[in-house]
Amino acid sequence: MDKNTTIINTIKQTLPSVTLLENEPMKNHCSFRSGGPVGVLALPADEASLLSLCALLKENGITPYLLGNGTNVVFPDEGAENLFVLCTGAMQSVRLLPGGEISASAGLPLSRLAAFALEHSLTGLEFASGIPGSVGGGVLMNAGAYGGELKDVITSVRCLDLADGTIHTLPASACAFGYRQSRFQNGGNIILSANVLLAPGEKEQIAARMKELNQRRRDKQPLDLPSAGSAFRRPEGYFAAALIEECGLKGTSVGGAQVSEKHAGFIVNTGNATTEDLRRLLTLVHDEVLRQKQVSLQPEIILVRP
Ligand SMILES: Cc1cc2nc3c(=O)[nH]c(=O)nc-3n(C[C@H](O)[C@H](O)[C@H](O)COP(=O)(O)OP(=O)(O)OC[C@H]3O[C@@H](n4cnc5c(N)ncnc54)[C@H](O)[C@@H]3O)c2cc1C
């Protein structure tokens, strides 16, 4: 924590545009609503302050853990006092470029990016309007739904290389996108912004498609309870939710974590679930599906190590 105390004082003195929260409980920032305090949670107001902050962290040998909207990640119950979490949540700029692409900052919610596309009668992002993550988290996960994935519309990603402090613009072809996969999962980069290219469309049709997909989400998914989205990745040739349901695991609980009664692919927090409850339930479901179906489910939820 000593390192963090020194850096906190320096940031307060030199970077007023970075909001700092000390010993901040991560349950306040993650959609599953679990997780103890981390040493520092920093929220730069914009990209310039993020870059200054990262230069300072690098000088002090601190590697930050990136947080977008916290909808796919959970932190340990006991917290992590030496962890410096950098949240992009305040970086929400979005603009239409002269060539027709949209440039969106990492912290912009995907729902806002989709709404911006609708405003400009551009089609191709309807699938993303109900995904609760940010552009940065969405790019890292290659978020997708209803047959669409971000990789279908992304043309390039700007990122900061944490090792040498350089900024690169990578074409989509260099991002190693796959099913819930990208090169950014190897760590070492902060996604700063992404460009997407959409096609001209009919505003009413785009709005109708978004409405329809969001209704499908409300009908099928347990949106009334905290969760971190799909608990497991889709295994090759199967659907995780169907396997879990066929194994009789719907409604199974560990502490406050429960395999949703509404959609077996989700694990919900029924009240006071801890991250440990979630971890144990993920293991229980994995082991039971392996025993009954000989399929090894891999978690989609990211569990940050203490
Ligand atoms: C109710 C619900 C429904 C969901 N539905 C879907 C769905 O339909 N499809 C889907 O794909 N997902 C879905 N999700 C999961 C989640 O919304 C997506 O994975 C989303 O892309 C995560 O974005 P985030 O900003 O919340 O990322 P976070 O959870 O904050 O972070 C996820 C990972 O990305 C990293 N990260 C975040 N920002 C950056 C950055 N700027 N640079 C580098 N690394 C970064 C983090 O370190 C972490 O490893 C759902 C989640 C919920 C709760």
What is the tens place of the pLDDT at every residue in 189-234? Answer: 999 999 999 999 999 999 999 999 999 999 999 999 999 999 999 9
**Where does CATH 3.90.78.10 sit in the chain?**
222-303
pTM: 0.97
279 assigned to active site: no
pLDDT above 80 (res 4): no
On the question of pLDDT at 1 being above 60, the answer is no
Question: Which is more confidently placed, 6 or 198?
Answer: 198
Is residue 187's pLDDT more than 70? yes
> Does residue 112 contact residue 92 with C-beta atoms inside 8 Å?
yes
Catalytic residue among 31, 49, 230, 260: 230
pLDDT of residue 3: 67
Average pLDDT over the chain, rounded to whole? 97
For residue 124, give the DSSP letter: S
Second-level CATH architecture of 2-87 = 2-Layer Sandwich (3.30)
Q: How far is the CA of 196 from the centre of ligand 1 (A)?
A: 18
Can you give the pLDDT at residue 2? Answer: 62
> CB within 8 A of 244, min separation 6: which ones?
232, 250, 259, 264, 265, 285, 289, 297
Delimit the CATH 3.30.465.10 region(s) of the chain.
94-205
Summarised one tens digit per residue, pLDDT across range 67-113 is: 999 999 999 999 999 999 999 999 999 999 999 999 999 999 999 99
Q: What is the tens place of the pLDDT at every residue in 16-61? A: 999 999 999 999 999 999 999 999 999 999 999 999 999 999 999 9
Helix/strand/coil percent split, the chain, to 5: 35, 30, 40
pLDDT (tens digit per residue) in 227-256: 999 999 999 999 999 999 999 999 999 999
- Point out the catalytic residue in the list 81, 245, 276, 300: 300
Using a 6 Å CB cutoff, which residues line ligand 1?
31, 65-73, 88, 106, 131-134, 136-138, 140-141, 143-145, 184, 190-191, 221, 223, 227-229, 302
Domain limits, CATH 3.30.43.10, in the chain: 2-87
Mutate to test the pocket of ligand 1, among 31, 135, 140, 266 (most ligand atoms within 8 A of CB): 140
Three-class SS of residue 19?
strand
- Multiple choice CATH, 94-205, 3.30.1330.40, 2.40.160.60, 3.40.1160.10, 3.30.465.10: 3.30.465.10
134 pLDDT above the threshold of 90: yes
3-state SS, 86-113, equals EECCCCCCEEECCCCCEEEECCCEHHHH
Percentage of the chain lying above the pLDDT 70 cut: 99
**CATH 3.90.78.10 applies to domain 222-303:** yes
What is the model's pLDDT at position 219?
A: 98
Percentage of residues in the chain with pLDDT exceeding 90? 97
Cα distances from 138 to residues 71, 185, 241, in angstroms, run 10, 11, 22
Q: What pLDDT does 6 receive?
A: 84
User: What's residue 265's pLDDT?
Assistant: 98
- For the chain, the first-to-last Cα distance in angstroms comes to 14
Q: What is the DSSP letter of 165?
A: -
